[in-house]
Structure 1
Amino acid sequence: MIAIGNDHTGYALKKAIIEYLEERNIAYKDFGCGDITSSDYPEYAHEVGKAIQNKECELGILICGTGIGISIAANKMKGIRAALCHDCFSAEATRLHNDANVLALGARVVGIGHAIKIVDTFLNTDFSQNERHIRRIQMLEE
């Protein structure tokens, strides 16, 4: 299951991503926010992070205006590896090399069509299981 969360600036993009997930029968849980009323991105980063930490969800998608603040908030949580991606190459590389479990997107940075391609790449790329990448991820957890 995919955890998804956003602040007010990410609301429209979240709706488009949910439509993509539903069209592909990909299970998700929406952690908000539910409209364009001003909200605080750390709240949603923490909700998505907790869902991954407690294994309620396998991966997460977070959206704010730039993707920066919400990724910083998520990365403060143990076991969360949130990657801010503005292109498909980065989305693929972060899954292959970093086993990132959260994709962060900037709704004011990427358009909906491009964001959907980034999400698709992130969700359809598996971790490489390469020894050097495993070692490096373990170093992050220390």
Structure 2
Amino acid sequence: MKISIGNDHAGTDYKFAIVKHLEAKGITVINHGTDANESVDYPDFVHPVALDVVNNTVDFGILVCGSANGVAMTANKHQNIRAGICWTKEITALTRQHNNANVMCIPARYTAEKQAIAMVDAFLETKFEGGRHQNRVDKIPC
């Protein structure tokens, strides 16, 4: 499995923890995020992750910022991206099961690091249910 990850200054510490966790599981991670805590513009780190997903060079994308709103809005501007804000394991699983999300967005200021890692695992382990949900997902693109 291959994951593309991006973050702004609010998500740097979480990004490092997530990358370490994924690499320990044998997952390849492409880092498009900042490695510093100085203020940056999150779209600069979102677009490369979204493009990795759109171009099928990775299986999924992970974005981390303070509230996850900005990264989700930016990622969802790309055709074929379904980025969902994940703040609990249950919501995370539903973004995959019902919405076939291919990018998860983590609000670092509103989740604990341990919780974020558990959500990453839930995202990667949960399959899309298809069925009645497929028709809805097919209606998402403009």
Please tell me the TM-score bracket, short chain as reference. over 0.9
Q: State the shift of 1:33 in Å.
A: 1.1
Distance 1:31 1:119 in 2: 17
Which secondary structure state, in structure 1, belongs to the residue aligned with residue 140 of structure 2? helix
Distance 1:133 1:123 in 2: 19
Deviation sequence 1:79-130 (CA, Å, 0-9, x none) = 1000001000011111011000000001111010111111110010011122
Q: TM-score, normalised by structure 1?
A: 0.96
Alignment of 1:1-142 (within 5 A): 1-130=2-131, 132-142=132-142
Which secondary structure state, in structure 1, belongs to the residue aligned with residue 40 of structure 2? coil
Distance 1:107 1:85 in 2: 10
Q: Which one-letter code corresponds to 2:138 in the other structure?
A: Q
Distance 2:28 2:100 in 1: 20
Q: Which one-letter code corresponds to 1:141 in the other structure?
A: P
The percent identity for this pair of structures is 38
Aligned Cα root-mean-square deviation (Å) = 0.8
Q: State the shift of 1:45 in Å.
A: 1.1
Q: Which one-letter code corresponds to 1:92 in the other structure?
A: A
Q: Which has more helix, going by share of residues?
A: 1
Q: State the shift of 1:16 in Å.
A: 0.5
Distance 1:72 1:141 in 2: 14
Q: Which one-letter code corresponds to 1:109 in the other structure?
A: Y
Note the residue ranges of structure 2 that are not aligned, 5 or more in a row: none
Q: How many residues align structurally? A: 141
Q: TM-score, normalised by structure 2?
A: 0.96
Distance 1:6 1:18 in 2: 12
Distance 2:127 2:30 in 1: 21
Which secondary structure state, in structure 2, belongs to the residue aligned with residue 56 of structure 1? coil
Distance 1:79 1:43 in 2: 19
Deviation sequence 1:35-58 (CA, Å, 0-9, x none) = 112111111111100001111111
Distance 2:28 2:127 in 1: 18
Distance 2:34 2:80 in 1: 23
